[in-house]
Structures are given as structure tokens and as C-alpha cells.
Amino acid sequence: MEWLLNIIYYVVPFLILLGILVFVHEFGHFMIARLVGVQVSAFSIGFGKELWSRTDKKGTCWKISAVPLGGYCQFLGDADASSTTSDGGAQELSEEEKKKAFPFQHPAKKLAIVLAGPGFNYLFAVLLYTMLFFTLGTFTFPPVVGEAVPEGAAAQAGILKGDRILKINGVEIKEFADIALEVGMAADHNVDIDVKRGDEILNFKFPLTEIEMKQSDGSTVKEYMLGIKSVNNVEVAHQRVSLPRALFLGFKEVGDVTVMTLRGVGQMLTGKRSSEDVGGVIRIAEMTGDISKSHSIIDFVVFMALLSVNLGLINLFPIPVLDGGHVVFYTLELISGRELNEKVKDYLFRFGLALLLALMIFATWNDIVHLTNRWFNT
């Protein structure tokens, strides 16, 4: 019976979440393609064997496929769903068909279609945040300890999961992001922390400990840290805001998430953050299940908005195969006025695919290690 509950709490919400985000992303490509007159041959949620399909009046085959870990939007003239190469028979298309085929479009049109996927992910996140701000009011990520790392200073001093941090060195802490700021400013690496545990207010005074962080070259660097992680839920302040204000806050939140994500990626590349934080679909499924099991629908929607921003941003990275790789190629074609050599593009796409597969394997390994540690620690 427990396995059935785990499917309900972990698998089902994850598939719903992923399905929505993939649909939004691919629908962005679809809408702009239709708008600029490019024929969409297929629109699929999932990969692999076709489970259901329907072809509309404009010749687009809408599909639901067996492997629900992604999707694609394929255009007329493409040899594959990623639009990396042209169909070998594209030259045999009629002149009328070539006007609607992707390979024969002006680079500006191709660029618009490619950017639409990440763009729709961003707009979807703005819409979700705006809806939350307008209907519920402002919300924050509370300064509550979700996990105290065993070797960290906080855990050694006696701070526990669920403790709410009120003050650090006399400075009031309103949200989780404030913690890192005050810890980083702590003189002589000592902290004086007030926490709320149940109805009690407790005070802890202790020195920060150095935690080793891996660098990109394999070496390690030590940083003074508390050694705590946040919870996944949000707190609603129920302060009513107008629709224009909610829209402004929605854009601001998306911008903040983007900056935070880029900062995290930069820290991993420079070794300031451990590469163990890199996670894949298993980690996302785990987090989705934890939120579905222990938190509210509001937390689920906030998590969906966060992932939508991350999906849009990651797809803009200049890696061949991802949308960002296409953006680089079509921008170069737009500037040079001629199409890049097909062999060069093919080699670059193969390199991009190999890099992406390596990252996926690495992320999956991290996920397995993380889950194993979680099972043995519970």
C-alpha cells in the first residue's frame, strides 16, 4: 500500500508538473512558428512510442508519447525533433512547401521561433507569480531551518530542523536569503543567533566552522558557513496588492530567481559551491513529491514557477542541441548573411549532445547518492 501512496505523492505530481512545463515551452515554439508562417509537423508531449495522436486541419500531429520526460515541436523540413539538421528530402519539397519549411526560413524567423520556448517559460513564471501576488498577497521564503548539516556549525551548536532564525548578531532576519548576508558579514567568524523553537526563544553563540567546497579543478576551498538548508515552503503575508503591482512583483521575482540561479552556476564553476548540488529529474521528482506530501498547493505553484524560470534559463545556455546553441548559430547567420557549414554544425551538435548526456549522467549519479544518503539517514 505504501508504494501506491508514493506513486500518488511522488510520481503523479512530478509527471503533471513536467508535462505542464514542457507543454508551455514547446507551445512557445509552436505559436511563434505558426505566427511567422512555418509549418509544424508534430507536437509531442513525451518521447518514444506514440500512445495517442490527432492531426489538426493545418497538418500538425498532436501526440502523447510513452516516455513522459520531455517533448518536442518538429517543423516541416527537419530531419529530427531538435531541428539540428535538415531533412535529406527537404530539397525535394515544392516551392510552396519550402515557404513553410523551417530550413528555408530567414535566420531572424528561426531566431524568433527558438527564443519563444524559453520566453514562454519566463512568461508562464511571471503569470504564476502575478496570480499569487494578486490573489494571496506578498509571500516570502521563511528563515526556517530545513536541514542542519551534521558537520556544520549550526548542528554542532544545537540548532535543529524546524528552528526559525530571528536574529543574527542583533540584526533581524526576515527571510532565508538574509541569513547568508549576515553570516558573511560576521566579524571574526563568530555569530550570536536567536531562534524560535516552538514557544521558546533560544540563544546560541558559537564560532562558524569552515566547510570544504570543491573547485572546478578538483581542489577544495574552505568557507565559513552555518551549514543549514532552507525548507521548501513559503509564507504568505496576506497583504493585498493591485494588479499592476502584482505584475511588477511577478517580473521582479522572476528576475531575482534568474540572478540567484546564475550565481549558483557561477559558484559551482568557480568551486565555491559543491558540484553535489547538481541534480536531475530524480531530484526534481523527489522535491515535487516532498512538496505534494507535506506542503500546500501554493508551495507547489511557487515550485512550478521556479522550475519554469530554470527550464527557460538553462535552455538559453549556449550549448549546441539546447535552444541557446541554436540562438548562437542563427545570430551568426544573421550577422554574416550566410548559413553556417552543415558539417561544422553537425560536429558542434554532436559535441553538445555528448556534453548534455555527460551532465545528465553526472546529475543522475548525484541524485542516486543523495537518495541513498537520505534512506540511510532516516
> Are 83 and 352 a contacting pair, CB within 8 Å?
no
Dihedral angle, C-alpha 103, 59, 97, 94, nearest 10 ° = 120
Of the candidates 305, 178, 176, 331, which has an alpha carbon nearest to the alpha carbon of residue 249?
Answer: 305
Specify the amino acid at residue 231. V
Report CA-CA distances (Å) from 313 to 119, 309, 338: 9, 6, 28
Sign of the dihedral through C-alpha 38, 40, 46, 48: negative
Catalytic annotation on 26?
Answer: yes
Residue 67 β-bridge partners: 47
Rg (C-alpha) for the chain, rounded Å, is 24
Phi, psi at 78, each rounded to 5°: -80, 140
| Residues 145 and 161 sit within 8 Å (Cβ to Cβ) | yes
Phi, psi of 374 (to 5 degrees): -65, -45
Q: Helix or strand or coil: residue 148?
A: strand
Pairing of strands 139-140, 164-168: unpaired
Closest by alpha carbon to 145, among 176, 191, 105, 169? 176
Backbone angles phi, psi at 241, to 5 degrees: -130, 155
Give the SS3 label for residue 264: helix
Of these residues, 26, 147, 200, 286, which one is catalytic?
Answer: 26
The catalytic residue positions are: 26
